[in-house]
Amino acid sequence: MLIRYNKAINSALKEEMQKDPTVFIAGEDVANAGGSFGITRGLLDEFGPERVIDTPISESAIVGMAVGASSTGLRPVIEIMFMDFIAVCFDPIINQAAKMRYMSGGQMTLPLVIRTQSGAGVNAGPQHSQSLEALLFHIPGIKVVMPSNPYDAKGLLKASIRDNNPVVFIENKALYGMKGEVPEEDYTIPLGEAKIVKEGKDVTIVALGQMVNKAMAAAQTLENNGISPEIIDPRTISPLDTETIKQSVKKTGRLIIVHEAVKIGGVGAEIAAMVQEEVFDYLDAPIQRVAAPFTPVPYSKPLENYYLPNENDIIQAVNKICVGRQFSIAGHS
Amino acid sequence: MSQFSNDTLLSLYQTMVKIRGFEERVSSLFADGLIPGFLHLYIGQEAVASGICESLSKEDYITSTHRGHGHCIAKGADVKKMMAELFGKETGYCKGKGGSMHVVDVDLGILGANGIVGAGMPIAVGAGITAKTNNDGQVVIPFFGEGATGIGYFHEAVNMAAVLKLPIIFVCESNQYAEFTPRETHLPVKTIVERGAAYGIQSYLINGNDVLEVYQTMKTIINRTRNGEGPFLVECVTNRWSGHFEGDPQRYRPEGEIDEWKKNDPIKNFRSLLLSEYHIQESSLLSIEEAIRSELDDAEKFSRESPLPDELSTLEDVYA
Ligand SMILES: Cc1ncc(C[n+]2csc(CCOP(=O)(O)OP(=O)(O)O)c2C)c(N)n1
Ligand SMILES: [Mg+2]
C-alpha cells in the first residue's frame, strides 16, 4: 500500500487504539480538529472523547498528565504540536518521566509516547523550526525516535506505543507528504535497530530524519563520481544502534554524520566520539559532520536555505575525506 | 460637546483602518506567494489594540503574540519595516530573521510578538519591574488570547505581578477560538475575568468590538496603573474573522458564523457613529482612508523592492 508519512502515523495510532483499550490520545486540537497537521483525523469519531482528548494549551500539564496516567495503568500518546514547545514542558519530561522508574527503584513503569514535530524548511521562524533531539538524547531514561519514511514511521510508532518506557517520537514536518510502501498487516520495528538504507564500501554516512533522504540524493551523484557510500539511518537515536555504525565504519574506514540540528553539541558529536573510542584503528580519515550552523533557525528564505544542510554539503564532505585519499584501496574487510 | 476630542476620534479610526488595511494587504500578498510561513491575522479585533494603545506613549511597553500585527501598528510600528519583515527582506524590522511572529521595535516599547503562547506575560512582569524601578509612570501591557490562559505562564505571571504590585494591565482578547478549538472546549469558565479574582486583582470585562468602550475604560485603568494601583486584568470580547492562520480551511467553523460576526464590524460601526453621533465630515474619513492606502502602497513597494538579506547574515546577531 502506497501511503504518506502522515497517514502512516495516523494508521499506527488507529490500529494500536483498536488493539489496546488502554491507549489514549491527548493534546491541543487533536480531537475535533484532527490535529494541527491532520495526524489524528478520524480518531475522535472512532474512539470517542474519552480516548481522544482536546486539552487546553498546557504543555506542562499535558506531559505531567501522561506521567500520571502511564504510571497508573494507561498508555497515553500525547502530542506536542511543535518540537519547539517541549521547552515549555521540560520538567515533566526530564525530571519526571525520565527518572520516575529509576528513582522508584524500578517500581514505576511509564509507557507513554510524546509525539512531536520538528524541522526547518517552511519559513516558520526561530520558534517553530527547531530540531532539538540532542537535548533529549542527553537524558537517560527516555527513548528518542526519528523516522525518515512512512514504513519506519508506522512500525516505530507501534513499537513506541507498546514500549514500557517514555518515548519521544519526532516527526519531521518536511516528511508529512512523503509517500512510501507500507504493508497492510501488523508489524513493528524494534527501537534501537538501525537500518542500512544503502550498502556501499567507501564511506559511511549516518543520517538522521529527513537528512536520510538528502543523503540518498547525494549518493546518486557520488556513485556517478565513483564513490560508493553506505547510508545508515539509526531510526532511533536513543537507544543508538552503535554496532551497525561500527561494523560499517570497519568496512569503509570513513564516517560522515548528517543532521539538521546545529552541529555543536549535536547527536553527531556523540557518534563521532563513540566511533573514535571504539574503532579508531579502522579510520582512514577524519570524521566529518554535516549539520546546521550555531544559530537559531532564521525566517527568510535565503537564510533558511543557508542554514539547512543539503545534498551538496554532503557531497562536499564526502569529497573532502575521499578524493585524493586513495579511498578505493582503503578498507579493512 | 462630546467627551472625546475630534483628534482622538480620528486617531482611533485611523489606527483601526490602518490595521485592517495592513492585514488585507498582507493576506493577498501571502496568497500571491510573496510572504511565506505562518501569518495570523488580526481582522475583526482592531478595536482592542487601537482603543488601548491610544492612551500609551512610546515609553510604555507591550508584549504581543503570534497574532501581533495589530498590537504593533497601534503602538506606532512602521508598516514599511513590518511588511518588509514579512517578506523576509533585509530592511525588515528583524532583518528577515524573525518574520510575522517576531516583530520587535525596542524604541517603541514593543518587546516582541511571540511564537510561544503565553510567553509574553512573564516578560511583561520583567518590564513591569523596570517600570517600577524607573518610577516615571510607565505601564506595561501584555496582550494574549483566551487560549493562553490555559498555560502556566498566565497564572504565574498574573500572580507574581499581583504579589509585586507591578504597573501591568493584562489584556486578554477573547476572540472565541484557540487555533481550531472553540472556547467552550478548552475553558471551564465563562469569562477570563473570573480568573483575575483568584489572584486578588481587579478585573474588567469589556466589549472589544466597541473602540470607544475600550478607549474609555482603558484610559482610566491605564491612569490608575500609572498612579501605582496595578496590576489589572481586562478581558476584551471580540471575534476573529480570519482563519487561525492564512490557509486555514476552517472546517471547525459553524456555518454562517463569520457572516454573523461581520454584521458587528468594529470599524464600520465606528465609522457610522462618527458620522451620525459625532458629526465628523465624511471627507475627513475619506482622506484618512486614502492616506492609509497610499502608505500601504508605499510599504508594499518598499517591501517588494528591498533586497533579500545576504545568506551569511544568518550567522550574525546570535550574541551581543
Ligand atoms: C506553548 C505553545 N503551545 C501551542 C502553540 C500553538 N498555538 C499557536 S496559537 C494557539 C492558539 C492560541 O489561542 P489564543 O491564545 O486564544 O490566541 P488567538 O490565536 O485566538 O489569538 C496555539 C495552540 C504555541 N504557539 N505555543
Ligand atoms: Mg483566541
CB-closest option in A88, A128, A302 to B38:
A128
For residues B90 and A88, what is the distance between their CA atoms, to the nearest angstrom? Answer: 31
Ligand 1, CB within 6 Å, residue ranges: A 28, 57, 59, 81, 85, 88; B 66-67, 115-117, 144-148, 175, 177-179, 240, 244
B318 interfacial to chain A (CB closer than 8 Å): yes
A310 interfacial to chain B (CB closer than 8 Å): no
Which single residue is written with the C-alpha cell 550498502?
Answer: A199
Distance A76 CA to ligand 1 centre (A): 23
Which single residue is written with the C-alpha cell 482612508?
Answer: B289
* Residue A3: partners with Cβ closer than 8 Å, 6 or more residues away: A11, A150, A179, A180, A182
Tell me the pLDDT tens digit for each residue of B299-312: 999 999 999 999 99
Whose alpha carbon is nearest atom 13 of ligand 1? B178
Cell of B244: 487561525
- Atom nearest to B119 CA in ligand 1: 1
Name residue A318's amino acid. V
CB atoms within 10 A of CB A87: 16
Tell me the pLDDT tens digit for each residue of A123-172: 999 999 999 999 999 999 999 999 999 999 999 999 999 999 999 999 99
Contact B237, B205 (CB under 8 A): yes
- Atom nearest to A85 CA in ligand 1: 1
Burial of A183 (0-12, 13-18, 19+ CB in 10 A): exposed
Question: What's the pLDDT band for A173 if we cut at 50, 70, 90?
Answer: very high
**What does pLDDT average to over chain B?**
97
CB pair distance less than 8 Å for B89 and A305: no
Q: Is residue B320 part of a domain?
A: no
**DSSP 8-state code for residue A302:** H
CB pair distance less than 8 Å for B314 and A123: no
Cell of B62: 507591550
CB-closest option in A57, A61, A300 to B97:
A300
Owning domain of residue B283? 6-305
Quote the number of domains for chain B: 1
Q: What is the pLDDT of residue A329?
A: 44
Tell me the pLDDT tens digit for each residue of A21-76: 999 999 999 999 999 999 999 999 999 999 999 999 999 999 999 999 999 999 99
CB-closest option in A125, A128, A295 to B315:
A295
* Residue A135: partners with Cβ closer than 8 Å, 6 or more residues away: A86
Q: List Cα–Cα distances, A256 to A55, A281, A311, A318, B246, in angstroms.
A: 42, 16, 13, 7, 40
Q: Which candidate, B299, B318, B320, places its Cα nearest to that of B34?
A: B299
Q: Is residue B313 part of a domain?
A: no
Helix or strand run (H / E) with residue A269 = helix A267-279
Q: Is residue B79 part of a domain?
A: yes
Q: Is residue B312 part of a domain?
A: no
Structural domains present in chain A: 2-181 (3.40.50.970), 195-321 (3.40.50.920)
Q: Which candidate, B169, B175, B177, B201, places its Cα nearest to that of B70?
A: B175
A55 interfacial to chain B (CB closer than 8 Å): yes
Q: What is the CATH number of the domain that holds B268?
A: 3.40.50.970
For residues A267 and A280, what is the distance between their CA atoms, to the nearest angstrom? Answer: 19
- pTM of the prediction? 0.96
Name residue A127's amino acid. Q
For residues B290 and A288, what is the distance between their CA atoms, to the nearest angstrom? Answer: 59
Q: Is residue B48 part of a domain?
A: yes
Tell me the pLDDT tens digit for each residue of A299-314: 999 999 999 999 999 9
Q: Is residue B57 part of a domain?
A: yes
Alpha helices in B135-265 (DSSP H): 152-164, 183-186, 193-198, 211-226, 257-262
Contact A100, A70 (CB under 8 A): no
Distance B303 CA to ligand 1 centre (A): 28
User: How many Cβ pairs closer than 8 A exist between chain A and B?
Assistant: 123
Chain B residues within 8 A of A124 when measuring between CB atoms: 37-38
Cell of A172: 519531521
Alpha helices in chain B (DSSP H): 6-31, 46-53, 69-74, 79-86, 120-134, 152-164, 183-186, 193-198, 211-226, 257-262, 266-276, 282-305
Contact B148, B154 (CB under 8 A): yes
CB pair distance less than 8 Å for B312 and A29: no
CB pair distance less than 8 Å for B97 and A299: yes
Helix (H, G, I), strand (E, B) or coil at B196: helix
**What does pLDDT average to over chain A?**
96
Q: What is the pLDDT of residue B1?
A: 53
Whose alpha carbon is nearest atom 8 of ligand 1? B117
Residue in A28, A59, A79, A270 annotated catalytic: A59
Tell me the pLDDT tens digit for each residue of B231-269: 999 999 999 999 999 999 999 999 999 999 999 999 999
Helix or strand run (H / E) with residue A196 = strand A195-198
Q: Which candidate, B66, B57, B190, places its Cα nearest to that of B117?
A: B66
Q: Is residue B201 part of a domain?
A: yes
For residues A68 and A44, what is the distance between their CA atoms, to the nearest angstrom? Answer: 22
| ipTM of the modeled complex | 0.95
Burial of B172 (0-12, 13-18, 19+ CB in 10 A): buried
Residue in A128, A171, A260, A304 annotated catalytic: A128
For residues A35 and A13, what is the distance between their CA atoms, to the nearest angstrom? Answer: 13
CB pair distance less than 8 Å for A128 and B187: no
Cell of A26: 491527548
Q: Which candidate, A78, A76, A80, A6, places its Cα nearest to that of A37?
A: A6
Question: What's the pLDDT band for A330 if we cut at 50, 70, 90?
Answer: very low
Q: What is the pLDDT of residue A323?
A: 80
| Residue A15 designated active-site | no
Tell me the pLDDT tens digit for each residue of B163-220: 999 999 999 999 999 999 999 999 999 999 999 999 999 999 999 999 999 999 999 9
Contact B225, B64 (CB under 8 A): no
Q: What is the pLDDT of residue A333?
A: 37
A33 interfacial to chain B (CB closer than 8 Å): yes
Kindly tell me if the per-residue pLDDT of A326 is higher than 60.
no
Cα angle, residue A139 at apex, residues A134 and A141 outer, rounded to 5°: 135
| Residue A304 designated active-site | no
Question: What's the pLDDT band for A328 if we cut at 50, 70, 90?
Answer: low
Q: Is residue B314 part of a domain?
A: no
CB atoms within 10 A of CB A126: 20
Contact A193, A240 (CB under 8 A): no
